[in-house]
Amino acid sequence: MTPNPDAPRPVALVTGSTSGIGAAVARRLADDGYAVIVHGRSADRGGALARELDGAFVRADLADDAERVRLVREALAAYGRLDVLVNNAGLSRVIAHDDLDAATPEVWHELTEVNVVAPFRLVAEARPALLAAASRGRAGCVVNISSHAGVRPKGASIPYAATKAALNHTTRLLARTLAPAIRVNAVAPGLVHTPLTADWTDAQELWREHAPMRRAARPEDVADTVAALVASDYLTGEIVVLDGGMSLT
C-alpha cells in the first residue's frame, strides 16, 4: 500500500480487482480520474495492478468479518477518503440445480457470507466515509456486482443464484435507507468472458446463438456500466441487467 493522505482525486475501492471484471473496473475508474484501491488475495497480481494504476493494494479475506473491517480502514488510511465502493468480489460453486444434496448448508453459508454479508458489511463500515464524500458535493456511491442469475431462475447453482438475488434486494434496501447522501446500484451481468468462464463452451455458444448481441460480455462492458453508474449523481436503487439482451429471448 502506498499512503497518500492528501490525495486530491476521488477515491474508489474495488473488491476482487486483481483479475477479470474487477481489474477492468479498476482500470476504467483510474482512467476516469479516481485513485483506486485494488483488493484481492494475490499480493503479486494486486501489487502489480496497483503500481500500474498508481494506486494502492490491500489484501483481505472477505469471508472473515475482521478482514472486511480492516480492508475499509486500510483503504481510508491510504488516501484519507473514500468516494466509491465497488463490491465486485464474489464466490460461485457449480452444482446442478437438481442435485439438492450437493447444495449443503456449508455451501449456502460460504456463498452467503461472501456474496451477501460481505458487501453489506463493507457498506456499513464505509458509510461514514461515503457520507463525507457527499459533504464534498457529490453523493457517495456504491455499486454491487450481482448476476443475471439473481434476476432469472438460472445460474451455476441454486445457492449462488439465491445469494445474488439477495444482493439485488439488499441493493434496493440500502439505496432507500442511505439516500440522498449515498447512492446504491447494482450491475447484473450475464455470461462474461473471464478466466473463470474460459472453458464454459456451452454457455458461450448459447450467448452467440441466442443473445441479441450475439456474444457474451467482456469485462470492459461491465466496467463501462459501472463507470456510468458512478458518473451519475442521481440514479439509485437500480439493478442494471447487462446480458446482451438475453432476457428478451
Count of domains forming the chain: 1
Asked if 34 is an active-site residue, the reply is no
80: cell is 484519507
Q: Which of 34, 79, 160, 234 is catalytic?
A: 160
Residue 81: inside a domain, yes or no? yes
H or E segment and range at residue 119: helix 118-135
pLDDT of 139: 96
* The dihedral sign for the CA sequence 28, 31, 36, 41: positive
Residue 26 belongs to a domain: yes
Residue 4 lies in a domain: no
Domain presence at residue 150: yes
State phi, psi for 16 to the nearest 5 degrees.
60, 45
The domain in which residue 204 lies consists of 11-248
Structural domain includes residue 3: no
Residue 196 gets which letter from DSSP? G
Q: Letter for the amino acid at 184? A: V
Residues 40 and 22: their CA atoms lie apart, in Å, by 9
Cβ atoms of residues 224 and 28 within 8 Å = yes
Write the CATH number for 43.
Answer: 3.40.50.720
pLDDT at res. 44: 83
Look at residue 167 and tell me if it is in a domain: yes
109: which 3 cell numbers? 453459508
Residue 112 · residue 104 · CB < 8 Å: no
Give all strands of the β-sheet with 239-242 in edge-to-edge order. Answer: 56-59, 35-40, 11-14, 84-87, 140-145, 182-189, 239-242
What pLDDT was estimated at residue 108?
Answer: 97
What is the residue type of 104? T
- With cell 446482451, the residue in question is 244
Residue carrying C-alpha cell 483481505: 60
pLDDT digits (tens), the chain, 249 positions: 544 545 579 999 999 999 999 999 999 999 999 999 999 987 888 999 999 999 999 999 999 999 999 999 999 999 999 999 999 999 999 999 999 999 999 999 999 999 999 999 999 999 999 999 999 999 999 999 999 999 999 888 999 999 999 999 999 999 999 999 999 999 999 989 887 777 878 888 888 889 999 998 999 999 999 999 999 999 999 999 999 998 888
| Cβ atoms within 10 Å of 195's Cβ, excluding its own | 8
Whole-angstrom distance between the N-terminal and C-terminal Cα of the chain? 46
Q: Are the C-beta atoms of 16 and 40 separated by less than 8 Å? A: yes
Residue 5 lies in a domain: no
Q: Sign of the C-alpha dihedral, residues 157, 154, 24, 90?
A: negative
Assess if residue 1 is contained within a domain.
no
Q: Which residue has the cell 497518500?
A: 4
